[in-house]
Amino acid sequence: MEPGSYPLLEGIDEPAQLRAVAATQLPQVATELRDFLLESVARSGGHLAAGLGVIELTLALHYVYQTPDDRLVWDVGHQCYPHKILTGRRGRIHTVRKTDGIAGFPKRDESPYDTFGVGHSSTSLSAAVGMAMAARAQGEQRKVCAVIGDGGMTAGQAFEALNHAGDARPDLLVVLNDNEMSISENVGALSRTFARLLSGGLYGNLRREGKRVLEHLPTPMREFAKRAEAHAKGMVIPGTFFEELGFQYFGPVDGHDLDTLVPVLRRLRDLDGPRLLHVVTRKGKGYAKAEANPIAYHGVKAFDPAKGLAGSSGGGAPTYTDVFGQWLCDAAERDPRVWGITPAMREGSGLVDFARRYPDRYADVGIAEQHSVTLAAGLACEGERPVLAIYSTFLQRGYDQLIHDVALQRLPVLFAIDRAGLVGADGPTHNGSFDLSYLRCIPNIVIMAPADENECRQMLHTGLCHDGPAAVRYPRGKGPGATVEPALRALPLGKAELRREGERVALLAFGSMVTPAGEAAEALNATVVNMRFVRPLDRECIARMAATHELIVTVEENVIQGGAGSAVAECLSALGVTSPVRHIGLPERFTDHGDPATLLAREGLDAAGIRSAVEGWLDASSRPRDEATG
């Protein structure tokens, strides 16, 4: 980017400098910011459409609020790129989501302007209510503003926060960024109702006709009619819904009109109590291709803005998500009881084709993970076979329902857990680092981890055939390239697969780690076992490996604490076996964002890392005790 290409934007390294710009120049700043964002993301990849849609809103908020002293809390963090550009990170925006670069979401330790870390959605209102209550308790005059939208208002936590705020009455402004989108289109009755009513036709016509009629009525009848109108208004205008919760409602206003946004925000900033400003924006605004297809341009790889994404399908071997999507369609064709459920991740979870072919057995519940789990439980109670496609990190949000509503009742719900392990660019909020640990402590659930694409298909079939809860966890992206067999066969529960026979060391590998463990084993002449099941474990296989090898090493793309390796160690202890056991897995810390292969290598989860760790343990065990212990 040539110096001077963005004359106003290049003079803004912090919001205080933005506030020194004349209000008449803000539209030009918006144009430069939008162009800069498009050029930057086109070069580096990242989230695009959401950021394009909040250019004017971001400018107006930083222009009016005295950030960072005033607290600005973003929800659905992928819309924060313009915010980052305006808060001292313009020169590093090209590193977004890359190894050692800036995060793609607000991150508290990255900037004082990132007041609350956001990766999952619908948390901003709860956090902002807490911040506003803290300011009141501390006697501070700072203001708090939360921006929620891009589907975030479909989650139950948002309404829990609204309910509490209406009672606690903190000094808080909520900006509802209504762009009729999350990642996929917004779903649900609330979203449809808002969209229909905000078109203005129904209520506007009723109100105009009502005024004309009321003019000719006697005074008592006019007063009665006004009270009736207030009641009717609650059925057709969303503002009354928020007002009934204790919020002063303002809007809707055009979220791309700075001449309106700035004065409105100025007035609202100085009011007291909970307020809600309804702002209507367009996802992808200013880039025609993103406006026309905001789903495709939600998150992008590097591309030429003049040509667009060009519709490349990528080709080559299918991803694990592709394998799941094809399997689900095949399963639904064979069995009319099969359902596909997603909490707002139709595209990401591979459900596009299923939704088209089996709309009557497809449910997108919005950003409502808790509901998605219990919905599946309800279907299972009535003899249906629900499959919940959900990211590992999002299943965490429905954990109580997983335990209480599914596992406790032994209901046949199949969890297709995508994005298990390190996901790369999205970082610690999206890494699936904990699912084996949080799943294996729950009774009644079968847990599987496929070594390749074909095994993934067969495990999904195995889970569907199981008369109880089952989970198949698989990584993001492509696997080792195994041929996917059209036929479906159920695997014997709890049976591991011997992949390679060697000496001294037995590598017990789970899921995605089978391939790098196999590569390391060639150099080590080690045995490799594809464990397949985390529950039930193949106890006979584990006992046999311990009896015939000097060292047992477990390998998993999950935190070591409480993970699959821990299950192996517990098994050996229960069997009274004292063979040495070592564990390779994710460390006891949150792994940052970056290139997945680089991150796996850093954590010692590639072939070289596995080999190095094993060689170190073998070397230590071969030294005399006094030398080995120092």
Question: Which residues are tagged catalytic?
Answer: 283, 369, 397
Length of the chain: 630
Determine the residue type at 568: V
DSSP letter for each residue of 489-512: -PPPTT--EEEE--SSEEEEE-GG
Whether 450 contacts 511, CB under 8 Å: yes
CA-based nearest residue to 544, from 506, 581, 583, 502: 506
Q: Please state at what angle helix 201-214 crosses helix 189-198, rounded to 10 degrees.
A: 50
Percent helix, strand, coil in the chain (nearest 5)?
45, 15, 35
Whether 530 contacts 514, CB under 8 Å: yes
Exposed/middle/buried for 433, CB within 10 Å: 0-12, 13-18, 19+?
A: buried
Q: How far is the C-alpha of 526 from the C-alpha of 529, rounded, in Å?
A: 10
CA-based nearest residue to 449, from 559, 561, 534: 534
Compute how many other C-beta atoms are within 10 angstroms of the C-beta atom of residue 534: 28
CA angle, residues 63, 15, 111, in degrees to nearest 5: 130
CA-based nearest residue to 448, from 438, 460, 434, 432: 460
Please state the separation of Cα 379 from the chain's center in Å: 25
Please state the separation of Cα 104 from the chain's center in Å: 12
Alpha-carbon dihedral 497, 499, 502, 504, rounded to 10 degrees:
-50
Phi, psi of 473 (to 5 degrees): -110, 130
Radius of gyration (C-alpha) of the chain in whole angstroms: 28
Q: Which tokens is 625 given?
A: 């005790």
Strand 46-47 to strand 299-300: parallel, antiparallel, or no bridges (unpaired)? antiparallel
Cross-sheet strand order for the sheet of 71-74: 71-74, 144-149, 172-178, 274-280, 248-254
* Cβ partners under 8 Å of residue 20, min gap 6: none
Q: Which tokens is 296 given?
A: 């495709």
- For the stretch 365-400, what's the b/e string if a residue is b when 16 or more beta carbons lie within 10 angstroms of its beta carbon? bbbbbbbbbbbbbebbeeebbbbbbbbbbbbbbbee
Helices (H) and strands (E) in the chain, counts: 26, 19
